[in-house]
Chains A and B, each alone.
Chain A
Amino acid sequence: MMGWMHQHQMALRRAFSQLARQPVAHLVGVLVIAFALSLPAGALRLIDRAASLGQGALHEPHLTLFMAQDADDAAVRAVWDNLAARTDVREFRYISNTEALAEMKATPGLADAVSALDRNPLPHTFVIRARNTAPQALETLRKGLAGLAKVERVQVDSAWAKRLDALVQFARRGAGGLTVLLAVAMAFTVFSTVRQQVLSARSEIEITHLIGATPGYIRRPFLYFGILQGLLGSLAAALLLWLGSRWYNDAIQPLSNLFAVNLLLPALTLREWALLGLAGIGWSWISSYLSVSMALRRIAARC
């Protein structure tokens, strides 16, 4: 058992010395892994942030009914009564144009613009939740309400969320493709780096093979090397993601304030850290295993 542990210790030490021997060459490999991990991870975080904007509207679609500018209290009352009597309306909320203007005034950045208005341009509004949220039922309800007197426009507010969702799905597919491409690039980098190492240690491998080294013994230092590269690549990827998030958040903060929506990227969670590490180490391990096994098969055939 102690001997086995000593062999692992020696293999790990050797992997470290390989890294230290050509730091610049191996830094390139580490950076390739870092970009291969951080680019899709960053893209997916951005896509998730965008998707979260539409999530509420998608899960609970509603209609917004805008009254005409000249609608008086009686017209508003008539629409109210109609909504209250309908069986396909689950609930509704009335927002008067005065209330809406006050909300706008409270929004940072819009107060000055609203104060400059000589009259209230906003219409009276009803926010309606339907009993049946199927697209067809929503459309029937929309058409029914649009025909009421002094109703300017009725819109289904899940439509934009659906469009956003479609865009998000498309972007996710793109990010998936990017992930596959970069994973292949990463595997190729680790594969060729390890292959170079195996070939440069060919005579040593041949000799140790002849004097009784098992394939596992011969493979070990190269696998450790791959794991180390993957680990360093994962750490560099986490650093890149952190820096990227900071830069993005600084840039998006004013826009986020202006539209009163949260567009900021949250810090990496423990789960995301673990996933990043596992992806980097696991993929590097697989790539180095394949590389060293193929090279060893070729060397063994010559022995």
Chain B
Amino acid sequence: MIALNAVVKRYPDGHEALRGVTLDIEDGEMVFITGRSGAGKSTLLRLMSGIERPTSGTISMHGRDITRLSSSALARLRRNIGLVFQDHQLLTDRNVEENAALPLRVAGLYGKELRQRVAIALEKVGLQGQAKASPLALSGGERQRLCIARAIVNRPRLVIADEPTGHLDKGYAHTILDIFKSFHSTGVTVIIAMHDTDSLPLPESRVLGLEDGLVGGDSEAESSEAM
């Protein structure tokens, strides 16, 4: 379970991206975080994945306060989180297979097990036939799928994706969301930030709306209130 309590994030230039966010995400949930640009979605995801630290407040994972962890401990924590970025963050001097294998190498895996896990991850996202291709030879959607393969190759229990459909057309965006849904169906917690929810209807899931650094709406809370 991820629990945020009165989390504030203020950047050195004075900009306050989050102004006291409190929320809980249960294991196995699929959560969409929505809001317009600048609402604080990316900051929230970066804090939850331990890339940044909050200015104040606490973030705990299964009861462990991650804001107090050392840099090395945070790095090890990130190995158990599958991260998907809008801008892909792929190494263009390595092929598809090598890009997908990167988290495994960081975790110290090698040899046959590494190759097997990479093959499975590429198969899950439908890139098994392009293992030796350069990321530069892939389309935008394929690059995003490679980014997802890299995120899941370590078999994480939590996947965090920041605008994974941002640069994709509607058809590809649906495909990407279907991939995330398939992970969720296996019990993986999936948290996805999206700003364009009008053109892309979200699947049946919890939706958290962020407005100016605060949680403006929570579909789960609203439905429990209605009952």
A270 at interface, CB cutoff 8 A = no
B150 at interface, CB cutoff 8 A = yes
Query: How long is the Cα–Cα vector from A212 to B69 in the complex, in angstroms?
Result: 14
A210-B106 in contact given A204-B91, A216-B72 (Cβ < 8 Å):
no
Which of B76-84, B169-177, B199-207 lies at the interface with chain A?
A: B76-84
A165 at interface, CB cutoff 8 A = no
A215 at interface, CB cutoff 8 A = yes
Contact across chains for B76 and A212 when beta carbons are under 8 A apart? yes
B108 at interface, CB cutoff 8 A = yes
User: Which residue of B is nearest A4, CB measured?
Assistant: B108
Chain A contacts for B110, CB-based, 8 A: 3, 6
Nearest-neighbour CB distance to chain B for A125, whole angstroms, equals 76
B185 at interface, CB cutoff 8 A = no
Contact across chains for B102 and A214 when beta carbons are under 8 A apart? no
Query: How long is the Cα–Cα vector from A170 to B83 in the complex, in angstroms?
Result: 63
Contact across chains for A211 and B78 when beta carbons are under 8 A apart? yes
B64 at interface, CB cutoff 8 A = no
The residue among A10, A204, A206, A212 with the most chain B CB atoms within 10 A of its own CB is A212
Contact across chains for A206 and B89 when beta carbons are under 8 A apart? yes
Query: How long is the Cα–Cα vector from A186 to B172 in the complex, in angstroms?
Result: 54
Query: How long is the Cα–Cα vector from A216 to B108 in the complex, in angstroms?
Result: 13
A213 at interface, CB cutoff 8 A = yes
- Could you tell me which residues of chain B, from 76 to 103, have a CB within 8 Å of some CB in chain A? 76-81, 83, 85, 89-91, 102-103
Nearest-neighbour CB distance to chain B for A209, whole angstroms, equals 7
Contact across chains for A207 and B108 when beta carbons are under 8 A apart? no
Chain A, interface size category, equals 20 to 34
Query: How long is the Cα–Cα vector from A244 to B16 in the complex, in angstroms?
Result: 65
Contact across chains for A210 and B89 when beta carbons are under 8 A apart? yes
A69 at interface, CB cutoff 8 A = no
Contact across chains for B76 and A10 when beta carbons are under 8 A apart? no
Query: How long is the Cα–Cα vector from A210 to B90 in the complex, in angstroms?
Result: 12
Chain A contacts for B105, CB-based, 8 A: 7, 10
Interface of A is mostly: helix
Nearest-neighbour CB distance to chain A for B42, whole angstroms, equals 12
A242 at interface, CB cutoff 8 A = no
Interface string of A200-232 (1 = CB under 8 A from B): 000110111111111111000000000000000
The residue among B76, B85, B110 with the most chain A CB atoms within 10 A of its own CB is B110
Pick the contact of B102: A3, A4, A208 (CB < 8 A). Answer: A208
A25 at interface, CB cutoff 8 A = no
Pick the contact of B72: A207, A211, A214 (CB < 8 A). Answer: A214
Please count how many residues in chain B sit with their CB below 8 Å of the partner chain's CB atoms.
24
Contact across chains for A213 and B108 when beta carbons are under 8 A apart? no
- Could you tell me which residues of chain A, from 98 to 135, have a CB within 8 Å of some CB in chain B? none
Pick the contact of B106: A212, A215, A300, A303 (CB < 8 A). Answer: A212
B51 at interface, CB cutoff 8 A = yes
Nearest-neighbour CB distance to chain B for A216, whole angstroms, equals 7
User: Which residue of A is nearest B92, CB measured?
Assistant: A203
Chain B contacts for A212, CB-based, 8 A: 75-81, 103, 106-107
User: Which residue of B is nearest A213, CB measured?
Assistant: B106
Query: How long is the Cα–Cα vector from A207 to B91 in the complex, in angstroms?
Result: 8
Chain B contacts for A207, CB-based, 8 A: 89-91, 102
Interface string of A1-20 (1 = CB under 8 A from B): 00110110010000000000
B186 at interface, CB cutoff 8 A = no
Pick the contact of A3: B81, B91, B107 (CB < 8 A). Answer: B107
Chain B contacts for A213, CB-based, 8 A: 75, 106
Chain A contacts for B90, CB-based, 8 A: 207
Query: How long is the Cα–Cα vector from A207 to B98 in the complex, in angstroms?
Result: 13
Chain B contacts for A4, CB-based, 8 A: 108
Please list the 9 inter-chain residue pairs (A to B) with the smallest Cβ-Cβ separation, ordered nearest first. A3-B108, A212-B79, A212-B78, A214-B75, A214-B72, A6-B110, A213-B106, A211-B103, A207-B89
Given contacts A3-B107, A3-B110, 11 further A-B contacts (CB under 8 A): A203-B91, A207-B90, A207-B102, A211-B78, A211-B83, A211-B102, A212-B79, A213-B75, A214-B76, A217-B75, A303-B51
Q: Could you write out 19 A-B pairs with CB less than 8 Å apart?
A: A3-B110, A204-B91, A207-B89, A207-B90, A207-B91, A208-B106, A210-B78, A211-B78, A211-B102, A211-B106, A211-B150, A212-B80, A212-B106, A213-B75, A213-B106, A214-B72, A214-B76, A215-B72, A215-B75
